[in-house]
Amino acid sequence: MDISSLRERKGSSEFTVSELNGYVKSILDSDRVLGAVSVKGEISNFTAHSSGHMYFSLKDEGGQIKAVMFKTAAQKLKFLPENGMKVSVRGSVSVYTQGGSYQLYVNAMMPDGVGTLYMMYERLKAKLDAEGLFDVSRKKALPRFPSSIGVITSPTGAAVRDIINVVGRRYPTAKIYIYPALVQGEGAEADLIKALDYFDVSNLADVIIIGRGGGSIEDLWAFNSEALARRIFSHRVPIISAVGHETDFTICDFVADRRAPTPSAAAEIAVPDIKELVERVDTLRERSFGALVKASRNSRDRLERIKAESVLRDPSSVFMAKRQKVADRSREAADNIRDKIDSLKNALLLRSERANALNPLSVLMRGFSVVEKDGAAVRRVGDVKNGDSVTVRMSDGRVNAKIIKEV
C-alpha cells in the first residue's frame, strides 16, 4: 500500500477499510512519542498463549488499552503477569490493521507499586516452601571454626565494612574473600548468582555471607529472586543470609542455611569469639587440674583405707579364719551325712518288718502248714481226691502224704 499517495488525497476521497487502517497505522508509527512510550496500569483480561505471546489490557480509573507482548520479549520477564497486577510497561503504540484497533506493543514490563511486589513475594514464598526449600532438616550446618569466609555484597556499602570489622575483632585468624556484586537494580540477580557459582567451584570459603544493608522492598528485590533462591539451596557451602534489618525478610533469608538480621550479626554467627575460646580453654584447664587433684586425693585416701585393712596387717588371720570355716563346714557335712544314713536305715528296717508280716513263712512259724499238689497250694477239699499225692509244707521242712478222702 502506497501510504504517501493516501496522504495526498483530499477529504472527499474514498478509502477502503484496509487503506484507512493502514493510513492510521502510518500516522501512529511515525509519532516519536508513541514510538517509545511508558505506561502504568492494572492488568486485566490476561491470556498467555501457547505460542508464548501474552495478550492483555491495561486499565486505570478512566479507561483501558489493549496490549500484546510477543514471545521474544515475554521470555525475558522475571515474573508471571496476572490479572489485577499493577505494572509499568515500555513499548510502542500502533494499529492492528486486520482488527481495526490500536494497541500497545510491549517490549518490557516491571511490577509497579509495593502491593504488587508483595503479592509476588508471597506467591513465590509459598511455592518454594511447598517444594521444601525452606525445610530445616535440609539446611547445612555451619563450621565451628572456619578458616575462610566468603562475602558477597557491594564493595562500597557499609555491610562489607561491618563484616570485616566484626570478623577481625572476633576471629582474626580467618581469611575473608570478598566478591564484589551488585545488590540492587538491573543485573543484580545475575551478579549474585555468578558470585555463588564462583565460590562453589573455587573452594575458597568454608562459609559464605550474602547480603546488603536495609532498604525498601524495591531495593531488596534482587534477593527475592527464584533463580537466586534455587542456587542458594543447591550450593555446596553453607550460606548465611544477611539482607536488610531485623524486620526485613527476603526469600534469600528463608532458603539460606542461617538467617542474620544484619551483616554484623552474620559475621558474629559465622565465626566464634576468640576471647571466649581463650576463656573457655582456661576454664577447662582449671577444671581438668581440679579434677586431677581430686582424683589423686581420692586415690591416696583409698590407698590409706586399704593399708588399714586387717588382711594387710595380719594376713595369717585371714587364712586361719578361712580354715576354721572350712573345718566347721566339714563337720556340718559329716553330721548331715550321718543323719541321712540313720534315717535311711530306720526306714529300711520299718519296710523290712512290714514285708515279714506279709511273708507266708512267718505264718508257718506260728504252727500252720500248707498242702501243695503239683506245686500249687490246695485251697479247697474239692481240689484233691482219694489217692492223690500231696506235699505238706511246714516251717522246718516238707513231708509227702497221700489223700484218703472220706465220702
Kindly report, residue by residue over 76-105, the tens digit of the pLDDT: 887 788 888 888 889 999 888 888 888 999
Beta bridge pairs of residue 392: 371, 399
> Which one of 6-20, 30-44, 185-199, 207-221 scores highest in mean pLDDT?
185-199
Cell of 341: 544314713
What are the φ/ψ torsions at residue 161 (nearest 5 degrees)? -65, -40
The Cα 194–Cα 21 span in angstroms is 49
> Which is more confidently placed, 293 or 224?
224
| Torsion sign, CA atoms 349, 352, 358, 363 | negative
Q: Say what the pLDDT of residue 209 is.
A: 96
Name the CATH superfamily housing domain 131-139+146-272.
Succinyl-CoA synthetase domains (3.40.50.261)
Cell of 171: 576471629
pLDDT > 70: what percent of the chain? 89
Which amino acid belongs to residue 82?
E
Per-residue burial over 361-395, b = 16 or more CB atoms within 10 Å of its CB, e = otherwise: eeeeeeeeeeeeeeeeebeeeeebeeeeebeebee
CATH number assigned to the domain covering 3-112: 2.40.50.140
Residue 60: closest CA among 112, 106, 1: 112
Cell 506279709 found at: 358
Kindly report, residue by residue over 169-201, the tens digit of the pLDDT: 999 999 999 999 999 888 899 999 999 999 999
Cell of 386: 482219694
Kindly report, residue by residue over 38-49, the tens digit of the pLDDT: 898 888 999 999
The Cα 212–Cα 266 span in angstroms is 11
End-to-end CA distance of the chain: 173
Cell of 306: 586399704
Which amino acid belongs to residue 118?
Y
Q: CA dihedral in degrees (33, 44, 56, 45; nearest 10)?
A: -150
Beta strands in 201-299 (DSSP E): 207-212, 239-243, 258-259
